[in-house]
Amino acid sequence: MSEKYSFLPSDYVDKLSIVDTELAIKLVKDTFERVLAENLHLTRVSAPLFVRPESGLNDDLNGVERPVEFDIKSINANVQIVHSLAKWKRQALKRYNFEPGNGLYTDMNAIRRDEDLDNLHSVYVDQWDWEKIITEETRNEEMLKHTVRRIVNALVRTEKVLTDKFSQLKPFICSEVKFITTQELENLYPNLTPKEREDAICKEYKTVFLMKIGGALESGKPHDGRAPDYDDWNLNGDILVWYPVLNRAMEISSMGIRVNQESLDYQLKISGCEERRNLPFHKQLLNGELPLTMGGGIGQSRLCMLMLQKAHIGEVQSSIWPDEMIKECEEKGIILL
């Protein structure tokens, strides 16, 4: 059992029937998708489920997760199911001739075989992946913070629609965002682990954007891992919301301004990943052939779990779980789909 799997509440009471749960899931997804597109000026597009590994388009996440691979008989080649679409989206913005200030979003589905399963993490990942074009002038922290506030606005507006429809659910998401860097957070709580620091700051401020994730802190270790070839580690972060059902912080989105030529060059060097320079995507970026962008992913099931005030992500998505976890959920009245 994963070490993370330790916080199923003993007094949990599901506020929605299974049928109401399914209705509420659709309401949350339809509402949030629409408001997010309005707030960020995004157009929905179709996206791939798998890519060729030699393209360099797959997301390496923390750099250690193994992608799911399979062969396609007709083309005599292996392909990988995507981990996310961080790199593909940037290419698509160029191919589709998007203009600065506008962008795209898509439904991303993935299988993360090395995920540690608990009530927040599943092998099956579904999220809205979004990306938009920015300019040299708007490639800064001010734009990053503005975008975070627009995403949080979409969260709050969606919650209002949901709680108006299902009165047994009471709103709790705070619209005011606390911005703090990982180094500032480490300085505040030097004796806590990274996840404990997130819980502590989120318990106090309720909605937090934790910035600058990926690079080493003064302690010598990064707050969390990030692949070196999509986010600029000085212009990225996670949106965290305090979740009273589990009495902890919940990450809703990982996002950021993407690497430019200079930051990609630097991050590949310090990460020991310079062999990636020869991949098609990385060559394009280093040659200045791709637009400057920002983007991120927002978990669909994670968001539904939060909005519907569920204790386990398996209450809002169908997946595979360890027998021990299924048994414990049954004992606590938690119905997994």
Residue 159 is assigned to a structural domain of this protein: yes
Residue 309 is assigned to a structural domain of this protein: yes
To the query of whether residue 251 is one of the catalytic residues in this protein, the response is yes
**Which pLDDT band, with edges at 50, 70 and 90, does 61 fall under?**
low
**Continuous segment of H or E residues that includes residue 285:** helix 280-286
Q: Which region holds residue 219: left if phi is over 0, alpha if psi is between -120 and 50, else beta?
A: alpha
According to DSSP, residue 80 is labeled E
- Burial, 293: exposed, middle or buried (Cβ in 10 Å; 0-12, 13-18, 19+)? buried
To the query of whether residue 14 is one of the catalytic residues in this protein, the response is no
**Three-point CA angle 46, 307, 235, nearest 5°:** 60
Give residue 67's domain range: 18-331
- Comparing 25-29, 160-164, 324-328, the range with the smallest average pLDDT is 324-328
Q: What is the share, in percent, of the chain residues with pLDDT greater than 90?
A: 57
The more confident residue out of 276 and 1 is 276
Q: List the end-to-end C-alpha distance of the chain, in Å, as a whole number.
A: 20
**Which pLDDT band, with edges at 50, 70 and 90, does 1 fall under?**
very low
Which pairs with CB-CB distance under 8 Å and at least 24 residues apart come from 90-96? 90/131, 90/258, 90/281, 90/285, 90/290, 90/291, 90/293, 90/295, 91/57, 91/281, 91/284, 91/290, 92/45, 92/47, 92/131, 93/131, 93/132, 93/133, 93/291, 93/293, 94/289, 94/290, 94/291, 96/45
Residue 115 has pLDDT above 90, yes or no: no
Residue 36 has pLDDT above 70, yes or no: yes
To the query of whether residue 238 is one of the catalytic residues in this protein, the response is yes
Q: What is the share, in percent, of the chain residues with pLDDT greater than 70?
A: 96
Per the residue annotation, which of 84, 91, 122, 127 is the catalytic one?
A: 127
The more confident residue out of 211 and 276 is 211
**Beta bridge partner(s), residue 109:** 126
| Average pLDDT estimate for 258-272 | 90
Domains of the chain: total:
1
Separation CA 80–CA 326 (nearest Å) = 30
Per the residue annotation, which of 33, 232, 251, 315 is the catalytic one?
A: 251
Query: Residue 106: its pLDDT value, please?
Result: 93
Residue 166 is assigned to a structural domain of this protein: yes
Query: Residue 69: its pLDDT value, please?
Result: 84
To the query of whether residue 127 is one of the catalytic residues in this protein, the response is yes
**Which pLDDT band, with edges at 50, 70 and 90, does 3 fall under?**
very low
Question: Which DSSP string do the residues of 260-284 spell out, in sequence order?
Answer: -HHHHHHHHHHHT-GGGGGSHHHHH
Per the residue annotation, which of 80, 122, 254, 300 is the catalytic one?
A: 254
To the query of whether residue 20 is one of the catalytic residues in this protein, the response is no
The more confident residue out of 147 and 119 is 147
Residue 323 has pLDDT above 70, yes or no: yes
- Helices within 41-181 (DSSP H only): 86-95, 141-165
Residue 8 is assigned to a structural domain of this protein: no
| pTM exceeds 0.85 for this model | yes
Q: How many CB atoms lie within 10 A of CB 146?
A: 11
Average pLDDT, the chain: 89
To the query of whether residue 59 is one of the catalytic residues in this protein, the response is yes
Separation CA 279–CA 154 (nearest Å) = 36
Residue 128 has pLDDT above 90, yes or no: yes
Question: Which DSSP string do the residues of 216-264 spell out, in sequence order?
Answer: B-TTSSBSS---TTSEEEEEEEEEEEEETTTTEEEEEEEEEEEP-HHHH
Residue 289 is assigned to a structural domain of this protein: yes
Residue 318 is assigned to a structural domain of this protein: yes
**Which pLDDT band, with edges at 50, 70 and 90, does 63 fall under?**
low
Per the residue annotation, which of 90, 112, 157, 197 is the catalytic one?
A: 112
Residue 2 has pLDDT above 80, yes or no: no
Query: Residue 330: its pLDDT value, please?
Result: 82
* The one-letter amino acid at 25: I
- Comparing 78-92, 151-165, 176-190, the range with the smallest average pLDDT is 78-92
Per the residue annotation, which of 159, 199, 238, 315 is the catalytic one?
A: 238
Residue 337 is assigned to a structural domain of this protein: no
Structure tokens at 121: 């993490």
Query: Residue 124: its pLDDT value, please?
Result: 87
Residue 115 is assigned to a structural domain of this protein: yes
- Comparing 57-61, 76-80, 111-115, 158-162, the range with the smallest average pLDDT is 57-61
Query: Residue 60: its pLDDT value, please?
Result: 61
**The domain spanning residue 99 has which CATH number?**
3.30.930.10
| Average pLDDT estimate for 262-272 | 89
> In sequence order, what are the residues at sequence separation of 6 or more whose Cβ sits closer than 8 angstroms to the Cβ of residue 55?
279, 280, 281
| Closest of 236, 179, 188 to residue 208, by C-alpha | 179
